[in-house]
Structure 1
């Protein structure tokens, strides 16, 4: 077990007044729960060439994260190595879909809290028991040439989840998993997602929002030049009905290719998984300044564009431009569904968006 060795190396490097790097050489290294804590006296690197392996038994890790990175400035993680969560035996124990908020807590591969001015590049997170990467309270953080992999059947294995963080960039990254490729929770601000391949998975999602009290606003989400393949959704914004009040604005999705995706464009203000909520009461999350531009490809569902906004707070300032989504299944061609929204439409629109019977009261 290399837990102690890695922890000791970190403490020494963190205490160094000059920049230092910890090297994990090629090979497999078993490590238990690890917390790498700052602040450090200088910039610090973790060069991961080998594979760190989590205990396969989920009960061996007490806590939300397996590898926890806390309060670190100027961190670089690189080297082509792998964080292997060994989650396959744990996924069957995930009961969140049955029990809602009181479900078994499984560990995430990487949990970053208050990490600033840092970069993770050329590393892989594999088979996490829960979310692969959880980013909370971070600022100026970049994921580049990052790779995430878990089975399509794995439960709750979001690729990168971001909350209450400002200035996170995810670029040139490949995500294949069983839940959202990227999910953006409350307080996500100035998030740039560029040149991502996503799928299988549940697409790139803002939300879900409005489930808890005192959620922070979401402002400035830019998703560009991405390819989404074989996922349950494409790009989506989801808020809970009967929600706490909240706001999300300046969310822009552009130049995205959809290959056999279920509902490529989705706003869902009645998001209510496993019937854990009162769907009749409209969402109180206000959505505004949203654009979907140059989104093309194929949908596996007839409703290729679904814009279902809140009756209490209809979506405001939504633009769709150059949409070309086709459906080749039964009862085709593709259609759109619109509720409580009057979007601005420009350029090509396949399917016709919010026209005639597709539009309900706005």
Structure 2
């Protein structure tokens, strides 16, 4: 009940400040910044840097003031240098201000890790916002090391996920650049139900043994681009889930972690298809997988189609190329996620494991039209490498090492 009351209180703050509108702040945080924008400084709404006292309400009040400003100028939410303690923080729309609204993070956001303060999927969420820029070079530190001991998802299929650091739901036409995310409680970033969102020049970091700390999880979203970023976590650097279409991952340095994954898919009933994924120009270092497609056994019917993995360097990677359609191993029933039209090209580097290419496809819906072009992998241990293909229709062009499946 306490958690519900806290969330209701947060929503009440948002509703109240939406009601009074942006004009109430002409003398409070509404200073003119650069040409064509108005600055809303969180300090002027009561934020307290360097204090154990939370600044959550001040941040949400400053956001609503900026979001509801309606004077033809762009709004900028300014977070000056300093360390700000926040619990669950909601930045909600739709906004009236001229698009895009900018969040300029110059300071450090520090999470309250009392899990009773969180009632939903996220620490900091952007919901129903059309036109958003997050920038400034600041740091978002969730202090996940204080709560990872409560993550029981390996042993409990019905576990509750810990809060994601940044949660984007129903966000359109957005860009996030030049920020650092550290030690998430759950996912570092979760993007869902969103369109035309871009992320670049990010640094995401958590220890290799941190549980379920994906760098970014994408689901039910269209036209997502992630580029020029460095990601090291205890789980997937990037995971591309159900309903993702037109996703591009470019120039990512990944590792340690579990690699770059399409999936997992098929865990839930009635999942949406994944189509049009490009992973290119990436370097993957010291991970437990390289580029992976993973689906659950006993799944409902869906598809993952039109996937391209190209120009990728593997550096001491286990399982550089892997399709695992028995992910989770909790059923003998085959996966019904159909994988088709997949291209692996210009992939080179070193494999720790002797089976460098491993396609373990579904016996009910075999992988179709999987193409390999110029694969040049070698063993980190100076041992022979092999490829294994089960229930897969495979074609080859160019150099192939390990040798093609027979």
Give per-residue Cα distances to partners, 1:122-179, cap 9 Å, x unaligned: 0111110000101010000000101111111100001100000000000101101000
**Is 1:300 aligned with 2:352?**
yes
For 1:181 and 1:212, locate their aligned partners in 2 and report how far apart those are by CA, in whole Å: 22
CA distance, structure 2, for counterparts of residue 326 and residue 163 of structure 1: 34
| In structure 2, C-alpha distance between the alignment counterparts of 1:308 and 1:302, rounded to whole Å | 16
CA contact (8 A) 1:188 1:217 kept: yes
Structure 2 match to 1:284: 336
- CA shift, 1:82, in A, is 1.1
- Output aligned runs, 1:1-362, within 5 Å: 1-17=54-70, 18-41=73-96, 42-43=98-99, 44-101=101-158, 103-272=159-328, 275=329, 277-278=330-331, 280-329=332-381, 332-355=383-406
Task: Please give the TM-score of this superposition, normalised by the length of structure 1.
Answer: 0.95
The answer as to whether partners of 1:342 and 1:354 remain within 8 angstroms in 2 is no
1:305/1:353 contact within 8 Å kept = no
Whether contact under 8 Å (2:344, 2:372) holds in the other structure is yes
**Separation of aligned partners in 1, 2:232 and 2:191:** 18
User: Unaligned stretches of 5+ in structure 2?
Assistant: 1-53
Q: Distance in 1 between matches of 2:387 and 2:356?
A: 6
Measured after TM superposition, the shift of residue 60 of structure 1 is 2.6
Aligned residue in 2 for 1:360: none
3-state secondary structure, aligned to 2:66:
helix
Report which structure shows greater RCO (CA 8 Å, sep ≥6).
1
Q: Which is worse superposed, 250-259 or 89-98?
A: 89-98
Equivalent in the alignment of 2:20: none
Asked if 2 retains the 8 angstrom alpha-carbon contact of 1:321 and 1:347, the reply is yes
Structure 1 unaligned residues grouped into runs of 5+: 356-362
Shift of 1:61: 2.0
- Per the TM alignment, residue 341 of structure 1 is displaced from its structure 2 partner at its CA by 1.0
Deviations 1:268-289 (A, max 9, x none): 11112xx4x21x2211111111
Question: Normalising by the residue count of structure 2, what TM-score does the alignment of the two structures yield?
Answer: 0.84
Separation (CA, whole Å) in 1 of partners of 2:218 and 2:360:
24
Q: Is the 2:351–2:377 Cα contact (8 Å) retained in structure 1?
A: yes
Contact kept, 8 Å, 2:316 with 2:380, in 1: the verdict is no
- 1:58 CA displacement: 2.6
Query: Partners of 2:77 and 2:305 in 1: how far apart?
Result: 41
Instruction: State the SS of the aligned residue for 2:393.
Output: coil
| Number of corresponding residues | 349
The aligned counterpart of 1:359 is none
Shift of 1:72: 0.3
Q: What SS is found at the alignment partner of 1:12?
A: helix
1:189-245, CA deviations, whole angstroms, 9 ceiling, x for partnerless residues? Answer: 000100000000100000111111111110000000000000110000011111111
CA contact (8 A) 2:254 2:285 kept: yes
Is the Cα–Cα contact under 8 Å of residues 230 and 254 in structure 2 kept in the other structure?
A: yes
Moved over 4 A (4+): none
CA distance in structure 1 between the partners assigned to 2:233 and 2:333 by the alignment: 32
Deviations 1:309-353 (A, max 9, x none): 1111111111001101111438x2111111011211011111012
Contact 2:313 2:347 in 1 (8 A): yes
